[in-house]
Structure 1
Amino acid sequence: MTRTEYPWLLPSAMADPELPGDQGGRSRRTVRDWIVDITAFLFAAGIGLLAAATIEADRTTSDGVLFVDCLIGVVACCALWVRRRWPVGVAVGLILVSTVEPVASGALLVALFGVAVHRPFRPAAAIGALALVTAPVQPYLRPDPGSSLIESTVVGVLLSLLVLSWGMVVRSRRQLVVTLRERARRAETEAGLRAEQAQRLAREAIAREMHDVLAHRLTLLSVHAGALEFRPDAPPAEVARAAGVIRDSAHEALQDLREIIGVLRSPGESDGDRPQPTLATLDELIAESRLAGMKVTLDSGITDPAAAPAATGRTVYRIAQEGLTNARKHAPGAEVTVMVTGGPGDGLTIEVRNPAPTEPFEQVPGSGQGLIGLTERATLAGGHLDHGPAPDGGFGIRAWLPWSP
């Protein structure tokens, strides 16, 4: 919160967001300001005329005194035109003048209202206390023939309290309006930030999904294209099989990419036309890897893979997919073991291990972001994932994921 956002906190300015003319605000009055000021002037002049008529009716008052009273009343009413710039000074001056001049009473009420509206509680209360203390002075010095001292004092005190209370109510309402506007602006800003954060999280999720999906396909392309490049004398049957794997992997990669783009274009939460992989589709992943020439052993102790939670099964599938992809990159020709155990209540444990490579191969570039994404995915699912080299020179991935009974 800053003082410029909440102008009523400024001690030396008229802190009213709707009434300009303070030291820190606009110098020109609006149409509404002119209407308010003219109305206040006419109100003060009307009260002053009534007071002047009462003084004139008192035959003990001379014409000279009446003339001075009217002149002071005009000056008091004109002083209201500068109350926007100096509300406290004008109010204090009118309080002192009103102690001896009944004609300035109307201008005093308007000045008290302005202080209550445009000043915090403490200065407004101080000005109000000064007005209440001096309320008995004027009827004592210049008593009204039609009322007693007590009656005149009570009326003066009640009018001052009424005007001050009304002004404070108006000030509170204006502060409430300013606060609500500020909250609306803040809520709009926060909504924009939440939307940006949601977009960022969606982009990160899509990036992880693209890596998990496409890395598996593109690795097949790289491995088999490299084999064709470095073994131009391979048998025609092996060349045809490698070319078929390349073609199928390219088609699958394009299909997966279309699904991800479809999710981006879809206004809802659709995941595409094809079902997402689960634990039940792990066999298809193993079969696809074997068809590509990998040696994969699957040891699954899950009797009913379809009963596993969809999110957990999808995470297991992605871990196995990333493990097979890494084995294809860094240990081609080595036999990979995929082991899945567990059940409801115990959770799911998946291990993907491969020994050290036994034959030379061309290193496929990789950044290690896949394992980082898998670790994050497992943590978000409520489990954990460990990976690292084995003592025999191989590599292993082990993860545990919860499975509620």
Structure 2
Amino acid sequence: MTRTEYRWLLPSAMADPELPGDRGGRSRRTVRDWVVDIHAFVCAVLVGMLAVTAIDADRTTSDGVVFVDCLVGAAACCALWVRRRWPVGVAVGLALVCAVEPVAAGALLVALFSVAVHRPFRPAAGVLALTAALSPVQPYLRPDPETSLVESVSVSLLLYLLVLSWGMVVRSRRQLVATLRERARRAETEAELRAEQAQRLAREAIAREMHDVLAHRLTLLSVHAGALEFRPDAPKAEVARAAGVIRDSAHEALQDLREIIGVLRGPGESDGDRPQPTLATLDSLIAESRLAGMKVSVDNRVTDPAATPAATGRTAYRIAQEALTNARKHAPGAEVEVGVAGGPGEGLTVEVRNPAPEGPFERVPGSGQGLIGLRERAALAGGRIDHGPQPDGGFAVRAWLPWPSS
């Protein structure tokens, strides 16, 4: 199953989350399970001992009956150790036993609680109905001289309802926790899918840009090679100049090609010839931002922007463009500082900073996908990028890109 299919199957799987123990089975008890089972067993034994004490206090009951009651009560308490595997069966059996043996009352209460916790409402309601129907049998066969039949049945029904309600509350809480955990896992999966999709789209966009650059360089190479082919009698100086252009174009094309290894182009997409931005066109980007109403200050310390390698300049342009766009969306009216520095051999540094926005404004929601695309661009160019909030409440984007010395 693919991750996309898993994404669409998750909502249906969350409709009725199952809890551990809902299907029974031979799952091993955890330490918590052992602690709960021991406490339940001890409580059932204590209730049974109280019942035996009350029976023994009644002088009309023979010692043989009391001995049988003790044996039945011990067997009922021991049956609780298999209630996790067969909760309904154990509860039904104990309900039948409790109809004639009051010493099994504690074990029956524990079994009812387990049914309410580990089974849905319908089985639990069925067990409760059976227990309620059998509740008058035991006080009728073995009445308590100090309590009437109606009082005994009423107290028994009240205890059964309280225990069942408590178990249903516990089950509801566990289902809520399981649902929240499943939703958290689904949200994490969807976030990973969105991030992967954003990275794929960013890579495809970079690949389309590089395709245009490679097409330009290969066209130039083809033109000069064709000139050499059709003018074999050209002067040596022109032949040498054309050969130099061919060599430089081929070298630059190979450099660009290395940057797009592993980057796929979207099928069926075709972009026309587009002029590619470089570091030299950064001034026009700043001018456009100012025309849009932004306050932008520039500190460009690159002496010859036109000498910047095309791929490096284009990546720097895109980083500044995305950072200015984010500043316009999330800090309108704030003055943005753009700094560019570097040279051959030391690399190119691009830094865009904006302070915290002043006054109330309508915040534009952002997904962070643009920053993911910038990270992809910087990585493909062999550089690195850092971004994040500043102590003064602003935001900064700082990138370093390689600039070969030759």
TM-score, structure 2 as length reference: 0.57
Q: Which residue of 2 aligns with 1:87?
A: 87
Aligned ranges 1:4-403 → 2 under 5 Å:
16-17=19-20, 23-26=24-27, 28-235=28-235, 239=239, 242=242, 246=246, 274=279
Comparing both chains, which one has the higher relative contact order based on Cα–Cα distances under 8 Å and sequence gaps of 6 or more? Answer: 2
Q: What is the alpha-carbon distance in structure 1 between the residues aligned to residue 205 and residue 253 of structure 2?
A: 18
- The letter of the residue matching 1:127 is V
Residue deviations 1:252-302, cap 9 Å, x none?
7689789x78xx9xxxxxx9971559999xxxxxxxxxxxxxxxxxxxxxx
Q: What is the alpha-carbon distance in structure 1 between the residues aligned to residue 92 and residue 32 of structure 2?
A: 26
8 Å contact from structure 1 (residues 7, 16) kept in 2: no
Greater CA radius of gyration, 1 or 2? 1
Q: What is the alpha-carbon distance in structure 2 between the residues aligned to residue 49 and residue 114 of structure 1?
A: 21
Unaligned runs of 5+ residues in structure 2 are: 1-8, 264-275, 293-406
Of stretches 201-210 and 181-190 in structure 1, the one that deviates more from structure 2 is 181-190
Stretches of 4+ moved more than 4 A in 1? 5-9, 235-258, 275-280, 304-309
Task: Please report how far the alpha carbon of residue 61 of structure 1 lies from its aligned counterpart in structure 2 after TM superposition.
Answer: 1.7
2:279 counterpart SS class: coil
2:60 counterpart SS class: coil
For residues 25 and 62 of structure 1, do their structure 2 counterparts lie closer, same or farther at Cα, with a shift above 3 Å needed?
closer
- The letter of the residue matching 1:170 is V
Q: What is the alpha-carbon distance in structure 2 between the residues aligned to residue 56 and residue 306 of structure 1?
A: 95
8 Å contact from structure 2 (residues 218, 250) kept in 1: yes
Q: What is the alpha-carbon distance in structure 2 between the residues aligned to residue 25 and residue 166 of structure 1?
A: 26
Q: What is the alpha-carbon distance in structure 1 between the residues aligned to residue 123 and residue 149 of structure 2?
A: 28
8 Å contact from structure 2 (residues 19, 178) kept in 1: no
Unaligned runs of 5+ residues in structure 1 are: 10-14, 265-270, 281-303, 310-405
Residue deviations 1:177-204, cap 9 Å, x none?
2223322332332222222222211111
For residues 46 and 275 of structure 1, do their structure 2 counterparts lie closer, same or farther at Cα, with a shift above 3 Å needed?
farther
Q: Which residue of 2 aligns with 1:299?
A: none
For residues 227 and 36 of structure 1, do their structure 2 counterparts lie closer, same or farther at Cα, with a shift above 3 Å needed?
same
8 Å contact from structure 1 (residues 279, 308) kept in 2: no
- The letter of the residue matching 2:30 is T
Q: What is the alpha-carbon distance in structure 2 between the residues aligned to residue 276 and residue 181 of structure 1?
A: 50
For residues 147 and 275 of structure 1, do their structure 2 counterparts lie closer, same or farther at Cα, with a shift above 3 Å needed?
farther
Residue deviations 1:24-68, cap 9 Å, x none?
342x43322222111111101111111111112222222222222
1:100 counterpart SS class: coil
Q: What is the alpha-carbon distance in structure 2 between the residues aligned to residue 126 and residue 230 of structure 1?
A: 97
Q: What is the alpha-carbon distance in structure 1 between the residues aligned to residue 255 and residue 79 of structure 2?
A: 82
8 Å contact from structure 1 (residues 8, 118) kept in 2: no
8 Å contact from structure 1 (residues 8, 120) kept in 2: no
Q: What is the alpha-carbon distance in structure 2 between the residues aligned to residue 112 and residue 129 of structure 1?
A: 11
Residue deviations 1:216-263, cap 9 Å, x none?
1221121112212331212467547645755775687689789x78xx
Q: What is the alpha-carbon distance in structure 2 between the residues aligned to residue 240 and residue 152 of structure 1?
A: 114
Q: What is the alpha-carbon distance in structure 1 between the residues aligned to residue 93 and residue 129 of structure 2?
A: 14
Residue deviations 1:56-109, cap 9 Å, x none?
222222222222212211111111111122111110111111112111100000
Cα RMSD, aligned residues only: 3.7
Q: What is the alpha-carbon distance in structure 2 between the residues aligned to residue 215 and residue 165 of structure 1?
A: 74
- The letter of the residue matching 1:147 is T
- The letter of the residue matching 1:181 is R
Q: What is the alpha-carbon distance in structure 2 between the residues aligned to residue 103 and residue 307 of structure 1?
A: 88
8 Å contact from structure 1 (residues 44, 110) kept in 2: yes
8 Å contact from structure 2 (residues 52, 66) kept in 1: yes
Q: Percent identity?
A: 73
Q: What is the alpha-carbon distance in structure 1 between the residues aligned to residue 173 and residue 247 of structure 2?
A: 73
Q: What is the alpha-carbon distance in structure 1 between the residues aligned to residue 289 and residue 58 of structure 2?
A: 105
For residues 233 and 87 of structure 1, do their structure 2 counterparts lie closer, same or farther at Cα, with a shift above 3 Å needed?
same
- The letter of the residue matching 2:279 is R
8 Å contact from structure 2 (residues 99, 138) kept in 1: yes
For residues 145 and 163 of structure 1, do their structure 2 counterparts lie closer, same or farther at Cα, with a shift above 3 Å needed?
same
Q: What is the alpha-carbon distance in structure 1 between the residues aligned to residue 195 and residue 129 of structure 2?
A: 52
Q: Which residue of 2 aligns with 1:335?
A: none
Of stretches 219-228 and 104-113 in structure 1, the one that deviates more from structure 2 is 219-228
Q: What is the alpha-carbon distance in structure 1 between the residues aligned to residue 102 and residue 15 of structure 2?
A: 35
8 Å contact from structure 1 (residues 58, 145) kept in 2: no
Q: What is the alpha-carbon distance in structure 2 between the residues aligned to residue 166 and residue 153 of structure 1?
A: 20
Q: What is the alpha-carbon distance in structure 2 between the residues aligned to residue 47 and residue 8 of structure 1?
A: 36
Q: What is the alpha-carbon distance in structure 1 between the residues aligned to residue 15 and residue 245 of structure 2?
A: 72
